Structure 1
Amino acid sequence: MKPSLLVLIHLNDASRASIEAAFDVIYAPDAAARSAAIDAHGETIRAVLTNGTTGLTAAEIDRMPQLELVSALGAGYENLAVDHARSRDIVLVNGAGTNDDCVADHAFALLLAVVRDVPQLDQATREGVWRDTLPMRPNVSGKRLGIVGLGNIGSKVARRGVGFDMEIGYHNRKPREGSPHKYFDNVEALARWSDFLVVATPGGADTRHLIGQTVLGALGPQGFVVNVSRGSVLDTAALAQALTAGTIGGAGLDVYEGEPNPPEALLKLRNVVLTPHVGGRSPEAITASVDNFLSNASRHFAGEAVLTPI
């Protein structure tokens, strides 16, 4: 008999078929279905597939007495009740490393789009406006790139920055051993040094509003910020004020507070580029994430150590 798996996130047909080959799947990708599924099947569920945004609460864990494996499909797990799960000896895994390239690519797409004003130039071209009447935009190459969070994704953002002949600085809780890049022990100092600031740090209580009024002021009117981490890391109200006042030059956001609803305060501003949390989504990244989950699950239910534990 296949183990019972509760899936709390949307899956495409191919991913769902792959997972259904190994599990008895209970598919509940929205709030109403989620509660009903746990009510109906909580006694038999042995594994849960979720993600960092969707999470899994302590109360839900307590309604599944046979639960033994919880997986976040991507790297993030900020809304998982990690400590509570560990108190029950539940194995926790994530998708670390499966979508790093995709997110790093998207970070640079946002950076290029907002610095070079690509959406506005596209619209102007469609309206018949020629270049001579449009403002010139700055280079990306040769500038200073600050990275908040030099983990797997941040490191790949740095590699792309080197390809653009950029000087790289970063902030972590502590210096990354072996990194050739300039370390800053606080975000404000990094922002003051940077032309562009890419945010790739984990979400959660420890980083909530890490990027706020002070950091944005340090970045300055010629500076640009890109967030591909979690919406909670960047203070939306402070960003809207900074963009409106010209305290910073622009912003590119793939994540924002209040998802999935877009931030009303930013929608009418021309110096911000928004995408709907798709930085880690590509056919290649989703396939790798699902394959990683299946490998972890197979190993766990065979009594072996998992590949990407939290």
Structure 2
Amino acid sequence: MTKPHILQIGPYPTWDVEELEKSFTLLKYYEAKDAEAFVAEHADKITGIATRGELGANRALIEALPKLEIISVYGVGYDAVDLTAAKERNIRVTNTPDVLTQDVADLGFAMMMAASRNIIGAQQWVKSGNWASKGMFPLQNRVFGKKVGILGLGRIGYQVARRCAAFDMDIAYSDLVEHDYAKDMTYVQDPVALAEHADFLFVTLTGGAATKHIVNKDVIKALGPNGMIINVSRASNIDEEALLGALADGSLGFAALDVFEGEPNLDPRFLSLENVLLQPHHASGTFETRKAMGKLVRDNLIAHFDGRELISPVL
């Protein structure tokens, strides 16, 4: 039996490629010197796309593949996939929710802790000899008992809230609707009002046109010079220009960021700021979660070509 041909948009860990190749013929788009010519050469064979959340699949690519049946996304975010173009062709789309939720929440909470207590700076204080020569490290800020706002109380946001609850934090959230499962939290519909409430603002909502720059200059101003933004969602959810300006002039206290516009080539202004904690978009970056994500990508593809129900469909 001929294996289905899958266009692999970006690299995956070796263990995922090895498993995918047992069931599929992988055509590695990211290795092609001329991607457009590569697609044209194989277009009549490609029936599936395996991509990553930040890479997606745009309309031009979808329209170039007349036999495309499914797009399987390695990641929970699928805003980089043109869902309208996929829907027009009845192309199925899947992602990898749930399996990465806990790790993303862990990193978000860890960033808040690391930034508040300046753990990285404290290590440098020890390594540089300053502890011995200058004495104790400057005082930092506590986390327990503070006010936290969670913008987007989906899977990840809820798990962030659970971690904050263990630190006796005053938790409020903003979402499209008030949730029954969050009765012990305060619902604040307006993001500006949520930021006014918060010492720490977690951004954990989905990306896309509907949420682009939802954290705008007004939200940032409301959080204020003592506030901190933690983003483990999509870079597009924050107005990066407004964020950089506020960090530079001190009207925002701190930002802990795992995602950036144009990453990995982030705006160089971030690199000169002292009031940021920068991470390389690795919130789901544990062996356990990445293996589970790869398996779900693979299982969705296999289910589709076997004619079975998809495990985690988006479309």
Task: Give the TM-score band, short-chain normalised.
Answer: over 0.9
Distance in 1 (CA, whole Å) between partners of 2:138 and 2:248 is 18
Contact 2:32 2:38 in 1 (8 A): no
Give the structure-1-normalised TM-score: 0.96
Structure 1 residues 187, 164: CA separation in 2 closer, same or farther (over 3 Å shift)?
Answer: same
Matched, 1:141 2:177: no
> Which position in structure 2 is the counterpart of 1:231?
235
Alignment of 1:32-111 (within 5 A): 32=33, 34-111=35-112
> Which position in structure 2 is the counterpart of 1:159?
162
Q: How far does the alpha carbon of each residue in 1:13-62 deviate from its partner, in whole angstroms, 9 at most, with x for none?
A: 11110111111111223674643431221111011011221111112111
Q: How far does the alpha carbon of each residue in 1:113-136 deviate from its partner, in whole angstroms, 9 at most, with x for none?
A: 211112222222211112746421
Contact 2:46 2:68 in 1 (8 A): yes
Contact 1:254 1:274 in 2 (8 A): yes
Matched, 1:307 2:311: yes
Runs (5+) with no aligned partner, structure 1: none
- Alpha-carbon shift at residue 190 of structure 1 (Å): 0.5
Distance in 2 (CA, whole Å) between partners of 1:58 and 1:32 is 21
Q: Which residue identity does 2:192 align to in structure 1?
A: E
Q: How far does the alpha carbon of each residue in 1:136-174 deviate from its partner, in whole angstroms, 9 at most, with x for none?
A: 111111111111111111111111111112121111111
Alignment of 1:271-290 (within 5 A): 271-290=275-294
> Which position in structure 1 is the counterpart of 2:255?
251
Distance in 1 (CA, whole Å) between partners of 2:20 and 2:127 is 44
Distance in 2 (CA, whole Å) between partners of 1:31 and 1:191 is 45
Contact 2:5 2:45 in 1 (8 A): yes
Please state whether the residue corresponding to 1:46 is helix, strand or coil. strand
Distance in 2 (CA, whole Å) between partners of 1:121 and 1:245 is 24
> Which position in structure 2 is the counterpart of 1:214?
218
Runs (5+) with no aligned partner, structure 2: none
Alignment of 1:170-185 (within 5 A): 170-180=173-183, 181-185=185-189
Distance in 1 (CA, whole Å) between partners of 2:10 and 2:101 is 20
Structure 1 residues 198, 32: CA separation in 2 closer, same or farther (over 3 Å shift)?
Answer: farther
The percent identity for this pair of structures is 35
Please state whether the residue corresponding to 2:226 is helix, strand or coil. coil
Contact 1:237 1:265 in 2 (8 A): no
**Across the two proteins, how many residue pairs are aligned to each other?**
310
Q: Which residue identity does 1:3 align to in structure 2?
A: P
> Which position in structure 1 is the counterpart of 2:25?
24
1:188 to 176, 189, 192: 192
- Alpha-carbon shift at residue 178 of structure 1 (Å): 2.6
> Which position in structure 1 is the counterpart of 2:171?
168
1:242 to 232, 242, 246: 246
Q: Which residue identity does 1:231 align to in structure 2?
A: A
- Alpha-carbon shift at residue 263 of structure 1 (Å): 2.1
Q: Which residue identity does 2:144 align to in structure 1?
A: S
Distance in 1 (CA, whole Å) between partners of 2:195 and 2:236 is 18
Matched, 1:4 2:8: no
Contact 2:206 2:233 in 1 (8 A): yes
Q: Which residue identity does 2:36 align to in structure 1?
A: S
Q: Which residue identity does 2:309 align to in structure 1?
A: A
- Alpha-carbon shift at residue 225 of structure 1 (Å): 0.7
Please state whether the residue corresponding to 1:270 is helix, strand or coil. coil
| 117-126 vs 226-235, which moves further | 117-126
Distance in 2 (CA, whole Å) between partners of 1:147 and 1:5 is 38
Please state whether the residue corresponding to 2:144 is helix, strand or coil. coil
Please state whether the residue corresponding to 1:306 is helix, strand or coil. coil
Structure 1 residues 169, 212: CA separation in 2 closer, same or farther (over 3 Å shift)?
Answer: same
2:203 to 199, 202, 210: 199
Distance in 1 (CA, whole Å) between partners of 2:30 and 2:268 is 26
Q: Which residue identity does 2:68 align to in structure 1?
A: L
Distance in 1 (CA, whole Å) between partners of 2:98 and 2:280 is 21
Please state whether the residue corresponding to 2:272 is helix, strand or coil. coil
